[in-house]
Structure 1
Amino acid sequence: MKKLLLLLLIGLSLTSAQAQQTANKPEREQWFMDLGFGMFIHWSLDSQVGAVISHSMAGASDDYLKRFTTELPATFNPKKFDPDEWATLARLAGMKYVVFTAKHHAGFCMWPTKTTPFSVAQTPFKRDIVREVLDAFRKQGIAVGLYFSPEDFYYLYEQKIPIGRLQHPQHFPANNPGLMAHDKAQLKELLTNYGPIDIMFFDGPAEGLKEYAWQLQPNLVVTRGQMNTPEQKIPDKPLPGPWESCYTMGTDWQYKPTNDPHKTGTEIINMLIETRAKGGNLLLNVGPKPNGEIQIEQEALLREVALWNLVNGESIHGVRSWDITREGPIWFVKSNRENAVYAFVPGGNEWKYGDRKEFVLKTLEGSAQTNVSVVGYDSKLVEYREGFDASINWQATPLGLVISAVNGHRLYTNNKWPNPAVLKITNARFKPLELAGEKRSKLDGAH
Structure 2
Amino acid sequence: MKKLSLAFALCTFSLLLLAQTSLNHENEVLNLNKPDRVEWFRNLGFGMFIHFSFDSQLGVVISHSMAGASDDYLNRYIKELPKTFNPKEFDAHEIATLAKLAGMKYIVFTTKHHSGFCMWDTETTDFNISNTPYRNDLVAEYVEATRNAGLAVGFYFSPEDFNFLYENGLQVRRRFTAPIPNQIMNKYLELNELQMLELMAKYGDIDILFYDGGEGPLVEKCKQVAWELQPDVVVTRGAMQTPEQTLPGVTISDPWEANLTMGTQWAYKPADEDYKSGLRLLEILIETRAKGGNQLLNIGPKPNGEIPETQEDRLREIAAWNFINGEAIDATEPWIIPNEENIWFTWKPKEKCLYAFLTKQPQWPRGERREFVIRSAELSENSKVEVLGQSSELVEYMPDIDATTYFQQKEDGLHISCVRAQRIYNNHKWNNPIVLKITNCKPALIPPVVKTEDAEIIYSKGSSFIQFKGTIIKHDDEEKLTACFQYRPYAGFVEELYSDEWMETTNAAINDSSFVFKLPVQIKNVTYQYRALVKHPKASIFGEIKRIETK
TM normalised by structure 2 equals: 0.75
| Cα deviation 1:8-33 (Å, max 9, x = unaligned) | xxxxx9xx759998421001110111
Structure 1 stretches of 4+ moved >4 Å: 16-21, 168-175, 437-440
1:213 is the counterpart of 2:226: yes
1:112 is the counterpart of 2:121: yes
CA apart distance, 1:336: 5.3
Gaps of 5+ in 1: 1-12
1:142 is the counterpart of 2:151: yes
Q: 1:182 to 1:19 in 2, by over 3 A?
A: closer
Distance in 1 separating the partners of 2:481 and 2:382? 25
1:86 is the counterpart of 2:95: yes
2:367–2:398 Cα contact (<8 Å) kept = no
Higher mean displacement: 360-369 or 267-276: 360-369
Q: 1:26 to 1:172 in 2, by over 3 A?
A: farther
Q: 1:79 to 1:93 in 2, by over 3 A?
A: same
Gaps of 5+ in 2: 1-17, 447-475, 483-532, 544-551
Of residues 542, 545, 548 in structure 2, which corresponds to 1:446? 542
1:348–1:417 Cα contact (<8 Å) kept = no
The aligned counterpart of 1:416 is 429
1:295 is the counterpart of 2:308: yes
Distance in 1 separating the partners of 2:94 and 2:272? 26
Distance in 2 separating the partners of 1:302 and 1:400? 36
The aligned counterpart of 1:399 is 412
Work out the percentage of aligned pairs sharing the same amino acid: 50
Flag the structure with higher helix content. Answer: 1
Letter in 2 for 1:89: L
The aligned counterpart of 2:522 is none
1:331 is the counterpart of 2:344: yes
Of residues 55, 59, 68 in structure 2, which corresponds to 1:46? 55
Letter in 1 for 2:419: V
The aligned counterpart of 1:311 is 324
The 5-angstrom pairing of residues 236-275 of structure 1 reads: 236-275=249-288
Distance in 1 separating the partners of 2:177 and 2:153? 33
Letter in 2 for 1:446: F
The aligned counterpart of 1:181 is 190
The aligned counterpart of 2:334 is 321
The 5-angstrom pairing of residues 50-61 of structure 1 reads: 50-61=59-70
Distance in 1 separating the partners of 2:181 and 2:50? 25
Distance in 1 separating the partners of 2:319 and 2:281? 11
Q: 1:185 to 1:72 in 2, by over 3 A?
A: same
CA apart distance, 1:360: 1.3
| Cα deviation 1:186-231 (Å, max 9, x = unaligned) | 0000001100000000001222221221111100100001111111
Larger RCO: 1 or 2 (CA < 8 Å, sep 6+): 1
Distance in 1 separating the partners of 2:293 and 2:280? 17
CA apart distance, 1:396: 1.5
TM normalised by structure 1 equals: 0.92
CA apart distance, 1:432: 1.1
The aligned counterpart of 2:137 is 128
Q: 1:151 to 1:174 in 2, by over 3 A?
A: farther
Number of aligned positions between the proteins? 432
Distance in 2 separating the partners of 1:34 and 1:173? 42
Letter in 2 for 1:225: G
Higher mean displacement: 391-400 or 343-352: 343-352
CA apart distance, 1:403: 1.0
Q: Partner of 1:368: helix, strand, or coil?
A: strand
Letter in 2 for 1:297: T
CA apart distance, 1:175: 8.4
